[in-house]
Homo-oligomer: A and B are copies of this chain.
Amino acid sequence: MKAPEDRGRNPRDELPIDETQRLIASDKVEGTEVYSPEGEQLGAIRNFMVDKVTGKVAYAVMSFGGLLGIGDRYHALPWRTLTYDTRLGGYVVSMSREKLERAPSYKAAETPWSEPGYGRGLHDYYGVPWGS
Contacts and interface: CB of A to CB of B under 8 A. Distances in A.
Interface of A: 1, 16-19, 21-27, 29-30, 47-59, 61, 79-80, 84, 111, 113-119
Given A26-B30, A29-B26, A47-B25, A114 B17 contact: yes
B18 A118 contact: yes
Main secondary structure of the interface of A (DSSP, over half): mixed
A120 to B, nearest CB: 9
11 contacts: A16-B113, A16-B114, A22-B51, A23-B50, A23-B52, A25-B50, A26-B26, A26-B27, A26-B50, A54-B56, A55-B56
B19 A114 contact: yes
